[in-house]
Structure 1
Amino acid sequence: MYILRTQNCRKKDLEKRWALPDRVFFACGACQVLAHVFMEKNAPADAQAIWIKPSAGHTGNHIIVSFADRVFDYHGYTEKNRFLAHYWKRARQVYPGWDAELVDITQDALTTEGPSAIYDGLWLRAPHQFFKNPLPRAEAFLAKVPKHMKIV
């Protein structure tokens, strides 16, 4: 989990966010794009995009892809229960009392404003709303991700 706390990297400053290292970029504001590209290129048949939706009053949204007993995000491939335990632990270290629910979302919601708007509290930036097109960047990042499991 990355947390951007500086004034120099507000979500509205698209150029500065674009300049972040890939892992941070895909952790903090472009996770949906990476999930979309993964679903298009590598996803097994049982893959499902999941929104980690923080409880009211909390921050820490994130999109992952879940399949079998694994998840995929900017970490690469991780055992699902280990990933979720790690995510909750890190979020609670920073935000005491943090909690969230896992919400299945459709693949088209990952890159299109309209479909993402049907989920209460979810707003995902579409590719055309970034400083540059993030899809090729996500494809290049995905090509470098080892295909084996990673321990978070």
Structure 2
Amino acid sequence: MYKLKPGIKQDRQRRWQLSDRIFFGHGACHILAGIYLEVAPLAGFHAERIIPGEGYAGNHIFVTNGVLAFDFRGYSCRRNLLIHHTLGWSKVSPPGWHCKIVHVDFDLLETQDLNARRMLGPDQYLMDPRPRARSFLDRFNHMASALKSSSFLG
């Protein structure tokens, strides 16, 4: 599990200079999920949010069709994404780390909705992250990647 150096998330310039995977994996996952839903490379996906217990870190938003998931890592089995995320945060957090998984019922690209949930809106980054998210999504052959991930469901 990658851990950001202290202060990077508070420094707009340093945050923007992160690689795309780290940028969308550590603080801008909601932007990637919002653009995924807007572009809809595969039908039937919706966003889910991992909300850690009070006082714990580990918030994450990804898109899923209930079986497959997509986030900064690409496509995976939803179950595997949740296991990887919860095990990773459990190892680096104080004892008792726990979370709940909820369906996202707010606009992932609307600053007011995001700020109400302690997330940055697209206009609050150094530059607009929406084109960066679209470019990131364009790197994937979505159908082939989803089919490959589906083969692990066996």
TM-score range, shorter chain: 0.7 to 0.9
Partner residue, 1:123: 118
One of 124, 132, 135 as aligned partner of 1:140: 135
| TM-fit CA distance, 1:55 | 0.3
Identical pairs, percent: 34
When residues 36 and 135 of structure 1 are mapped into structure 2, their CA distance, relative to the original with a 3 A threshold, is same
One of 15, 20, 24 as aligned partner of 1:26: 24
Deviation track 1:107-129 (CA, whole Å, cap 9, x = no partner) reads 51x121333456xxx22211110
| TM-fit CA distance, 1:12 | 2.0
Paired positions, count:
145
Matched, 1:100 2:99: yes
| TM-fit CA distance, 1:84 | 0.7
Unaligned runs of 5+ in 2: none
- Mapping for residues 1-152 of structure 1, pairs under 5 Å: 1-4=1-4, 6-9=5-8, 11-42=9-40, 44-95=42-93, 96-106=95-105, 108=107, 110-116=108-114, 122-147=117-142, 148-149=145-146, 150=149
TM-score using structure 1 length: 0.86
Across the aligned residues of Structure 1 and Structure 2, the Cα RMSD in angstroms comes to 1.9
Letter in 2 for 1:36: G
Deviation track 1:78-105 (CA, whole Å, cap 9, x = no partner) reads 1011111111111111113211101211
Letter in 2 for 1:135: R
Deviation track 1:40-94 (CA, whole Å, cap 9, x = no partner) reads 1125443221111000110011111111301110011110111111111111111
Unaligned runs of 5+ in 1: none
| Secondary structure, aligned partner of 1:7 | coil
| Secondary structure, aligned partner of 2:32 | helix
